[in-house]
Amino acid sequence: MRMNNKELSKRLQEGTWQEIMPSLWEAMQAKVDQMIIQIGDKSPHVAPPDTGKYDDMRHDWWTAGFWPGILWIMYDLTGKPHYREKAWSWDERFEQKSVQDNNFHHDVGFQYLPTAVVKYKLTGDQAGRRRGLAAANFLAGRYNMAGKFLRAWNQDKTGWSIVDSSMNLSLLFWAAEEIKDPRFDMIARAHADTVVEHFIRPDGSVNHIVSFDPYTGEVIESLGGQGAGPDSSWSRGAAWALHGMANTYRYTQDKKYLHAAQRVAHYFLAMLPEDSVPHWDFRAAESLVDEPRDTSAGSCAASGLLELADALPPVQGRPYREAAERIMLGLTRHYGVWDKPDYEAILTCGTGNKPADSNIDVSLIYGDYYYVETLAKLLGWKNRIF
Ligand code: GLY
């Protein structure tokens, strides 16, 4: 018999990670089933804490793949067709948008990997394959040969590149394998080399934006972007680098990416507060006590730590797995919403863009996605999306 919400909340507060995981998995299925009813056809991005209701964001927004991504993971883990049915149409929606006025950019990996590509992997759907390859072509077309980077955003940001793109490289690696064409692999490796050289600092902290001269490729400056400043340390940027470089190692087996991911991981873990859930920027202020957390940085980093654990022999991988479990325990206990049936999101206390005063202490669909992805990996799920 299913536990009621109060019993479940109590159980989640008391046990070790190993003890709570079965109850959490049970709760997650109930939660996602409820979210399906609540979210309907919306493209969720942000839910404010007072209502817990997800918004309905435009379909070419960078976050539009995460809700269907949750559904595809649930389908893969359970085999239940209602998850597949709810996820099915999303890559078609993107394709329709791609032939209209749109703002697709460097983040097509975040959109097409958890929709078109995973759909093709799990069902063999040829339209999903076609759309995934079209997105990879689009991303490859954003490569700047002088600076060896994938350019960020659109409009006038011609020479800008951002650390977030580390996570989009899996789309290029997938395409290279899928059609046996090394061009995609070469572009992904070249961009990853730029991340290692210009974004990941010697101490393992990470820049958000690097501005290059788009004609000569020379570095002009580093910019703070969504972090507190050019020398600060935006925690979600670190999570993107950690997870992205670990993925790049999985595809290439080149140790320089493994070591880059480890460097970021060691820094990230050293900066965590007592509950293992990061503040939005590790260098936001001398004291971080009053600074908001970013649960999305925590869940994304936890998933990346599990990639590191899998990449290494057990004796070396164990500390990364245990660190991922500590982050998951902190997220589950202190930020998971298990006893408010009307609340549409899984985690509270994400921070979208603090310098722009935008989306602070809210639920974020990508925080929810990486939480589900990490739980799935800890349950033994093998079909990687990123
Ligand atoms: N990719 C944008 C962000 O992390 O907010």
Residue 273 covered by a domain: yes
CA distance 183 to 169: 13
Q: Give the angle subtended at the CA of 367 by the CAs of 362 and 372, to the nearest 5°.
A: 135
What integer pLDDT is reported at residue 9 of this predicted model? 79
Question: What is the count of structural domains for the chain?
Answer: 1
pLDDT score of 271 more than 70 = yes
**Among the listed residues 182, 94, 171, 91, the one whose alpha carbon sits nearest the alpha carbon of residue 139:** 171
Express as a percent the part of the chain with pLDDT over 90: 96
Which pLDDT tens digit goes with each residue over 330-354?
999 999 999 999 999 999 999 999 9
236 alpha carbon to ligand 1 midpoint, in Å?
A: 8
Q: Taking CB atoms and a 6 Å cutoff, what residues make up the pocket around ligand 1? A: 62, 164, 226, 236, 352
| E strand spans, 176-301 | 209-212, 219-223
DSSP 8-state code for residue 271 = T
Percentage helix, strand, coil for the chain under 3-state DSSP, each rounded to 5: 55, 10, 35
194 alpha carbon to ligand 1 midpoint, in Å?
A: 19
Instruction: At 352, give phi and psi (nearest 5°).
Output: -80, -65
The whole-number average pLDDT for the span 260-282 is 98
What integer pLDDT is reported at residue 2 of this predicted model? 62
What integer pLDDT is reported at residue 5 of this predicted model? 73
Provide the residue range defining the domain that includes 334: 5-378
> Which residues partner with 212 through β-bridges?
219
Site to substitute for ligand 1 among 164, 294, 365, most atoms within 8 A of C-beta? 164
Query: The whole model's pTM is what?
Result: 0.98
DSSP structure string for 83-126: HHHHHTTHHHHHHHHHTSS----TTHHHHHIIIIIHHHHHH--H
What integer pLDDT is reported at residue 118 of this predicted model? 98
The whole-number average pLDDT for the span 210-226 is 98
What integer pLDDT is reported at residue 7 of this predicted model? 80
The whole-number average pLDDT for the span 137-166 is 97
- Model confidence at 12, pLDDT cuts 50, 70, 90, reads confident
Residue 383 covered by a domain: no
Q: Atom of ligand 1 at shortest distance to CA of 226?
A: 5
What integer pLDDT is reported at residue 13 of this predicted model? 86
Q: Atom of ligand 1 at shortest distance to CA of 162?
A: 1
Residue 143 covered by a domain: yes
| Helices 314-335/17-39 angle, 10° precision | 50
pLDDT score of 1 more than 60 = no
pLDDT score of 315 more than 60 = yes
Q: To the nearest whole number, what is the mean pLDDT of the chain?
A: 97
Residue 174 covered by a domain: yes
Residue 129 covered by a domain: yes
Residue 304 covered by a domain: yes
pLDDT score of 326 more than 90 = yes
pLDDT score of 30 more than 80 = yes
Query: Atom 2, ligand 1: which residue's CA is nearest?
Result: 164
What integer pLDDT is reported at residue 6 of this predicted model? 76
Annotated binding site for substrate: 107, 164, 236, 240
Assign residue 143 the CATH number of its domain: 1.50.10.10
The whole-number average pLDDT for the span 77-82 is 98
What integer pLDDT is reported at residue 3 of this predicted model? 67
Annotated binding site: 107, 164, 236, 240
